[in-house]
Amino acid sequence: MRETAFAKVNLALHVRAREPDGYHRLETIFAFAEDGDLLEVSEPSRPGALELEISGPFGEALRTEALSPAGERGNLVTLAARALQDHYDVKQGARLHLDKRLPIASGIGGGSADAAAALRLLTQWWRLPDDRAVLHRIARGLGADVPACLVSRTMRGEGRGDDLHEVEGASITGTPILLVNPLVQVPTGPVFAAWDRVDRGPLGPELLGRNDLEAPARAVAPVIGEVLEALAGASFARMSGSGATCFGLYTNTVDRDAATARIRALQPGWWTLVSRLK
């Protein structure tokens, strides 16, 4: 059995305030590409065991975690599996294989999408109730982006980003998208810490808005500005999350593919993903 951990993009990310607990109050529009990491499950090598293999172009940094105590703290796939197992007192094991195709610390879901895929996949594998409330509660405990990644469709997020609301009349499904990352990791913490604490106003009913983390992210990684310049021909271009991945939306696949070819020729060391919005 297999699940895709769909790449997440923020069509808007308005930072409204920093709360006393250190978290930031957000208003965001989540959208998802049709592609991402891949997670597979099969029978474990021994009954009841929970095993994890990691491969793929971005798997090396995660490969050593496996199921050691440090790995259990650090790998969200393992944390998601344990949380689901504990909630339902599951005795059955699983062997998970993560094909890591999305860059790490890149603002497009990454570990959150992987954790959400694990919850969806293991719910089927272990034949558990498809209880959305339970899964959402577990997801919230794993991270602010995990609930949105669990749903993996266009949603409005508020609070920490995990207070989700349906987006009425969203008509972006099938929109051609190009994601570009200069292969510079941008940790979330320093970017939020560098936010200037200026409330630039609420997110209205529109799907497309500003990203208030772009300026602090560009201070951390100035190359983000070059990526956005490379996407200048898109109908809409933004940095996603806290960076460094940026994306362009296009009215047709011809323009998107032409932009992809141009960027790959000029910057062969950058990562690109050609997809469509779900």
Annotated active-site residue 131? The verdict is no
CA distances from 47 to 4, 81, 95, 170, 260 (A): 26, 16, 10, 45, 46
Count of residues making up the chain:
278
Q: Are 199 and 2 in contact (CB under 8 A)?
A: no
CA distances from 237 to 173, 222, 224 (A): 17, 17, 12
Which one of 145, 162, 212, 278 is the catalytic residue? 145
End-to-end Cα separation, the chain, in angstroms? 21
Q: How remote is the C-alpha of 227 from its chain's centroid?
A: 19
Radius of gyration of the chain (CA): 18
Annotated active-site residue 145? The verdict is yes
What is the spatial distance between Cα 45 and Cα 53, in angstroms, rounded to a whole number?
12
Residues tagged active-site: 8, 145
